[in-house]
Amino acid sequence: MEKRKSIALDMDGVLANNLVHYIHYYFQETGILIKEDEVLGLPEGECLPDKGAVRRYLESPNFFRTLPVSPNAQEVVKELQEQYDIFVVSAAMEFPWSLREKRDWLAEYFPFISWQNIVFCGDKHIIKTDYLLDDHTKNLVTFSGTPLLFNTFHNVHEERFERLQDWMDVHRYFLG
């Protein structure tokens, strides 16, 4: 029997839908509702009219703990686990206050992922899995396995990597 392949899954923008959360926080603060198609192609940190807002939200307690789960992510990850070794790999070290919140978020929404398969790091190039599914090209360029770009607003103009549109597309790619 062949060795099971391993997949590293990014959190922000992949397992979690950060854009919806940014838009929600901005609406709560200003009463202005940003539409998703208004921000296509903008850098993640500057997707709101107030250029300091995203960083401010990221730094506010509870932001990471209350992120909405990406549609179908839970079901697809659970199915992937039957045939692949699944790891969550998040560059959480940049936001030390997020470490506990991210761990608790995973325990709530992905309780079927063991703590042994969770990695919080800085630079992802020291991660040795067969696949990396990430929305940020900076993580994909140095990855030694097969890089896969998870489609989101800030990477729509990126053309260097195979793009998976959403979690149903992830299902199709890995489970056919």
Query: Catalytic site residue 85?
Result: no
- The total of other beta-carbon atoms located within 10 Å of residue 151's CB is 15
33: which residues sit within 8 A by CB, 6+ positions away?
23, 27
Q: Does 20 bind a second copy (CB under 8 A)?
A: no
Distance of CA 15 to the CA centre of its chain: 5
Q: Kindly state the DSSP code that residue 132 receives in the 8-state scheme.
A: E
Candidates 58-66, 71-79, 109-117, 157-165: pick the segment binding a second copy (CB under 8 A).
Answer: 109-117
Instruction: Please select the residue that binds a second copy; options are 24, 69, 81, 97, rule is CB under 8 A.
Output: 97
Candidates 9-17, 41-49, 55-63, 85-93: pick the segment binding a second copy (CB under 8 A).
Answer: 85-93
- Which residue number, 26 or 105, has a Cβ lying nearer to a second copy? 105
Whole-number minimum distance, CB 66 to a second copy, in Å? 17
Task: Name the pairing type of β-strands 6-9 and 85-90.
Answer: parallel
Query: Catalytic site residue 166?
Result: no
**Cross-strand pairs, 163:** 149
- Which residue number, 28 or 116, has a Cβ lying nearer to a second copy? 116
Q: Does 146 bind a second copy (CB under 8 A)?
A: no
Among 104, 147, 130, which residue's Cα sits nearest to residue 16? 104
Torsion-angle region of 175 (φ positive above 0: left; ψ -120 to 50: alpha; else: beta): alpha
Q: Does 50 bind a second copy (CB under 8 A)?
A: no
Distance of CA 101 to the CA centre of its chain: 15
Whole-number minimum distance, CB 143 to a second copy, in Å? 10
Please provide residue 6's backbone torsions phi and psi, each rounded to the nearest 5 degrees.
-115, 145
- Which residue number, 125 or 172, has a Cβ lying nearer to a second copy? 125
| Residue 44 · residue 154 · CB < 8 Å | yes
Contacts (CB under 8 A) with a second copy, residues 113-142: 114-123, 126-129
Catalytic residues: 10, 12
Interface with a second copy (CB under 8 A): 6, 8, 87, 92-94, 96-97, 99-100, 103-104, 107, 114-123, 126-129, 144
